[in-house]
Amino acid sequence: MSVNYKVEWPMNLKALDPLEAKQPDVDDGLDVVDPARYYSREFMAQEWQKLWPKVWLLAGVASDIPEDGDYFTFAVGPEEFVLVRQADGGVKAFYNVCPHRGNRVVLNERGSVPRFTCAFHGWQFGCNGKLERITDQETFDPKLIAHRPGMTEVRCESLGGILFINMDPKAKPLQQSLGLPEGYIERYQIDKMNVVHHVRTTWKANWKTGVDAFYETYHLPWVHPQTQTVMEDFSQYDLYPNGASRMIVPLCVKSHRVADQEGVDPYLSFMLKEGGIDPATFKGSAREVRAAIQKSKRARAQRIGLTHYQNFTDGQLTDSWATGLFPNVQMGMHPEGVFIMRFLPHPTDPETFYYDTMILYRYVDDPDYTVPAWMGLPAGIDVTGETRPAVVHVPPGEKPNLGDVLDQDSELLPVQQQGLRSRAFKGPLWSEQEQRVRHFHKELDRYIQGLK
Ligand code: FES
Ligand SMILES: [Fe+2]
């Protein structure tokens, strides 16, 4: 008996493009997982043994470190890494740990150096991680330092402008591990985008509570009712190998739940304007807005020389392709930019995570072209890519200030986290609208069971 309950989705994209087309169903069963995974220290410890040290982790974007010696740090739980551009143009990654007595070698989030100097006793390491200098070397027994201890390297690979690290020397190569079809990420030319906003908020919930919430649009009508007049909440859900998944959220349409499917109300008018169409002269109905915007955006791209638009499907010009990379990343993919969210576990508390968001934007110097509103950029932000903004750290309990949708999620999650702990809660009951969540947990279980 098939466990996939088939429903007639109101939004059938009927896509032929292999990257956009609905993927074949995957039978992930009907297991109800033990909710302890959302709060127990034992489960957190298991993740630290069996998950995090084995998977490719999105560390950052390559455009952040264009020059030789440019570096940034990336922390996940108790571990921290430094990624640094090499003289040969490549990027290397190291544990941010001094081999002398374990001090963090790099103390800031980013910078540019000819070499690293540990602040404790002044040992120095080249950008290639090799030991260059030991302070008062003659005071060490030569046998102790004969191996010339440098910074410990971890694997680092890049894909389409994004940098990943992996602590496991035996892990399969990145592209093979990600599970996404070839060319999926590359189509967006992320290497030509820059981080224009980077916010790290502390949320009082497990990191998976975070992933789960962003992997479905089932909650949209309830938590984000304002989205109903501009997006369909019955998304196209696609499952890929190795826990990866995607949902296509059709934008510039009304949800099928909205009775009036004809009237172009203020939100849709706003989308029209952003798509380069004057709402005052638009004569179509709400049903025609999405296609009109796609056409307008394509024409605009041609006018201003964005030739890579010819690779995008019409749907990609309007819709959000929310793409999940196992275990802890979702990327909202759009031609104009990419919204990367990372769910970073707290070093010691299973009920805290860092919601780390990076907004990447491809700057176009043209009066016809504006920053899309979905980016939720505060006023006054430099979008040219000339300055890499510092990370904005938002303390626990404060709104992320990333627009009203994310503010709503930030209020919801700590409340859900409290309920997850109740003796009454027997484990999540996932619908087909939540198939990405089940797919993610299924893969997580494979790691926890030692099958991966
Ligand atoms: S701990 Fe780094 S030089 Fe001593
Ligand atoms: Fe949400």
Instruction: Compute, in angstroms, the gap from residue 57 CA to the centroid of ligand 1.
Output: 27
Query: In angstroms, what CA-CA distances link 356 with 143, 231, 427?
Result: 44, 24, 27
Atom of ligand 1 at shortest distance to CA of 102?
A: 1
Q: Which ligand is nearest to the CA of 411?
A: 2
Instruction: Compute, in angstroms, the gap from residue 208 CA to the centroid of ligand 2.
Output: 14
Are 107 and 70 within 8 A, CB to CB? no
The pLDDT value recorded for residue 361 is 97
**Radius of gyration of the chain measured on its C-alpha atoms:** 23
Token reading at 321: 């392709």
Token reading at 372: 């899309």
Token reading at 441: 């947990």
The pLDDT value recorded for residue 323 is 98
276: left (phi over 0), alpha (psi -120 to 50) or beta: left
The pLDDT value recorded for residue 283 is 95
Residue nearest to atom 1 of ligand 1 (CA): 101
Q: Are strands 337-345 and 79-85 parallel, antiparallel or unpaired?
A: unpaired
The pLDDT value recorded for residue 2 is 45
Instruction: Compute, in angstroms, the gap from residue 332 CA to the centroid of ligand 2.
Output: 13
Atom of ligand 1 at shortest distance to CA of 103?
A: 1
Q: What is the DSSP string of 180-248?
A: PPTTTTGGG-GGG-EEEEEEEEEESS-HHHHHHHHT-STTHHHH-GGGGGTB-SSPEEEE-GGG-EEEE
Q: Are strands 392-394 and 194-203 parallel, antiparallel or unpaired?
A: parallel
Token reading at 200: 């790290």
Distance CA 253, CA 216 (A): 18
Q: How many CB atoms within 10 Å of residue 159?
A: 20
Q: Is 54 exposed, middle or buried (0-12, 13-18, 19+ CB in 10 A)?
A: middle
Atom of ligand 1 at shortest distance to CA of 98?
A: 2
Q: Is 221 exposed, middle or buried (0-12, 13-18, 19+ CB in 10 A)?
A: middle
Taking Cα atoms as reference points, which of 346, 359, 421 lies closest to residue 385? 359
Instruction: Compute, in angstroms, the gap from residue 106 CA to the centroid of ligand 1.
Output: 11
Instruction: Compute, in angstroms, the gap from residue 214 CA to the centroid of ligand 2.
Output: 6
The pLDDT value recorded for residue 41 is 98
> Which of 96, 105, 121, 125 has most ligand 1 atoms within 8 Å of CB, for mutation?
121
51: left (phi over 0), alpha (psi -120 to 50) or beta: alpha
The pLDDT value recorded for residue 6 is 63
Atom of ligand 1 at shortest distance to CA of 101?
A: 1
Atom of ligand 1 at shortest distance to CA of 123?
A: 3
Instruction: Compute, in angstroms, the gap from residue 98 CA to the centroid of ligand 1.
Output: 6
The pLDDT value recorded for residue 403 is 84
Helices vs strands, H then E, count in the chain: 9, 18
Would you give the end-to-end CA distance of the chain in angstroms? 28
- The mean pLDDT values, 10 residues at a time, for the chain of 452 residues are 57 87 93 98 98 98 98 96 98 98 97 98 98 98 98 98 98 97 96 97 97 98 96 95 97 96 95 95 97 97 95 97 98 97 98 97 91 86 94 86 88 96 97 96 98 95
Give, as one character, the DSSP assignment of residue 293: H
What sign does the CA torsion over 305, 311, 315, 318 have? negative
Are 71 and 83 within 8 A, CB to CB? yes
> Which of 120, 125, 136, 140 has most ligand 1 atoms within 8 Å of CB, for mutation?
120
Distance CA 62, CA 357 (A): 16
pLDDT in tens, 226-247: 999 999 999 999 999 999 999 9
Q: Which domains does the chain have, with CATH numbers?
A: 1-54+188-452 (3.90.380.10), 57-170 (2.102.10.10)
What sign does the CA torsion over 135, 136, 142, 143 have? negative
Residue nearest to atom 3 of ligand 1 (CA): 121
Long-range contacts of 377-386 (CB under 8 A, 24+ apart): 377/196, 377/197, 378/197, 381/196, 381/197, 382/196, 383/196, 384/194, 385/63, 385/193, 385/194, 385/196, 385/361
Distance CA 428, CA 13 (A): 29
Instruction: Compute, in angstroms, the gap from residue 344 CA to the centroid of ligand 2.
Output: 18
**Residue 383: in which H helix or E strand, if any?**
none
Residue list, ligand 1 pocket, CB within 6 Å = 98, 100-101, 103, 118, 120-121, 123
Q: How many CB atoms within 10 Å of residue 394?
A: 19
